[in-house]
Amino acid sequence: MTLLNAYAATQDTLYLNGAVQAARALAWGQLSTGGWDYRVDFDPEGSKRWHYRRDVDMGDSDPGDRRHRSVFDDDTSQSAMRLLMRVDAVLDFKDAQIHGAVRYGLDAFLRVQYPNGAWPQRWVKFPNPDDFSVGKARYPEIWSWTWPDVDYRDFYTFNDNAIADVIDVMLEAYRTYGIERYLNAALKGGDFMVMAQIPEPQPAWAQQYNHQMEPVWARRFEPASVTGGESFGIMRALLDLAVHTGEMKYVEPVKPAITWAKRSLLPDGRLARFYELKTNNPLYFVRDTYELTYDDSDMPTHYAFKVTGESRIAAVESYLERIASGELEKIRAEQLARWDGSITDEDLQEISGMIDSLDGHGRWVEDGHMRSRERGKPQIPARVINSRTFNRNLSSMARFVALWE
């Protein structure tokens, strides 16, 4: 995506060629189920363990014991699809490999959507609509304080904003291709968000739900609960749907959710990631044992059990106010613009610093770590090129060039 931004700012085909090659690599690694895993194995031997779309195209439709599970978690398949769609559009939809990957993938996104509008975290098959009912979220009669170790991958999943990211893709697909099915899928996803809102006294959302629409456990540190984290991604997605479709029904669930968030704030202005069902007590885990507890004194450090609260509440309230004041067209234009704002003195200083920090080979090199090739061994300190730094800096430079001109 960074290379596409650089191409848009400079019209230098060097950047476009890089983006096209990345898109073709994604098309090569598209799984037979239509999405992507966290990784693509380009090793000739290693790739034989996977069942790809290109295998299906060659008449090899049975995956056997090969891996073919597609992933919505962590914006995995969604981000791949965004890049493919944007490159497809820049190429006027004329690259058969890239365009074919887009159509195959978007069709899979539609087919894996449940009848109620939800999407799973991952999938290896497409749901039979007759096997699923449509209903509103409800509290379970009982829920366990101990991790049940169940397969959660086909649950209705908001965790890490999975469904919100798919809705975003479907809206972009509709803008790009003008096909009503994509818009309808986005609206159906929004309808699911409305149905999934937990009843009072906790009108927010859970990270994941079983097929009876009850909050459930996922990993051993993700309990059946109401979440102070992903609820904000859902609120944002609902407001975005209202802005981009004109459907104001998506605004209404946000108002009680914000009221809940305000009364759920911790003394330091943050929110707990998890709140106990019905009691609304903050939930945490004990380091090492992963025992569920009300005590936050000895939590694991690998996961955010407390999240930003006050500033996100303020951001949602500001968004609500802009919608109420009738700024829909202005908000739409701002969100769809590739570049925002204007060049400031701070921008000049930032870009100057980025240029000065390049080494003699035109690279940003920094202290970091490399993973050991031996399983279980500690990471190795090294001077590294960090892709996050590269993307941030080059995107900032592209914005600077575009707005400067």
| Per-residue pLDDT tens digits for 6-16 | 999 999 999 99
Q: What is the mean predicted confidence (pLDDT) over 204-215?
A: 98
The CA distance from 149 to 305, in Å, is 20
How many angstroms separate the Cα of 267 from the Cα of each of 257, 264, 279, 359?
Answer: 19, 9, 18, 46
| Per-residue pLDDT tens digits for 279-297 | 999 999 999 999 999 999 9
Looking at residue 18, its pLDDT comes to 98
Count of residues in the chain? 405
| Per-residue pLDDT tens digits for 315-365 | 999 999 999 999 999 999 999 998 888 899 999 999 999 999 999 999 999
DSSP state letters, 97-146: HHHHHHHHHHHHHHHTS-TTS---SEESS---GGG---------S---SS
Count the Cβ atoms, other than its own, within 10 Å of residue 96.
9
Could you tell me if 33 and 69 are in contact, meaning their C-beta atoms sit under 8 angstroms apart? yes
How many angstroms separate the Cα of 316 from the Cα of each of 148, 154, 190, 332?
Answer: 35, 30, 17, 16
How many angstroms separate the Cα of 44 from the Cα of each of 40, 49, 179, 394?
Answer: 11, 10, 37, 32
Q: What is the pTM of this model?
A: 0.95
Helix (H, G, I), strand (E, B) or coil at 208: strand
Q: What is the mean predicted confidence (pLDDT) over 147-174?
A: 97
| Per-residue pLDDT tens digits for 98-137 | 999 999 999 999 999 999 999 999 999 999 999 999 999 9
Helix (H, G, I), strand (E, B) or coil at 348: helix
For helices 180-195 and 230-245, what crossing angle results, to 10°? 140
If 0-12 CB within 10 Å is exposed, 13-18 middle and 19+ buried, where does residue 301 land? exposed
Write the single-letter amino acid at 253. Answer: P
Show Cβ contacts of residue 272 under 8 Å, excluding neighbours closer than 6 positions.
228, 264, 266, 282, 283, 284, 305, 306, 307
The CA R_g of the chain, rounded to the nearest whole Å, is 23
Could you give the percent of the chain with pLDDT greater than 90? 96
If 0-12 CB within 10 Å is exposed, 13-18 middle and 19+ buried, where does residue 352 land? exposed
Joined together, the tokens standing for residue 382 give 């090294």
Average pLDDT, the chain: 97
Q: What is the mean predicted confidence (pLDDT) over 45-68?
A: 96
In the chain, list all ranges with CATH 1.50.10.20.
115-338
Angle ∠(372,378,381) on CA atoms, nearest 5: 75
Looking at residue 41, its pLDDT comes to 94
If 0-12 CB within 10 Å is exposed, 13-18 middle and 19+ buried, where does residue 181 land? middle
Looking at residue 405, its pLDDT comes to 63
- Class at the top of the CATH hierarchy for domain 115-338: mainly alpha
DSSP class of residue 277 equals T
pLDDT at 307 over 80: yes
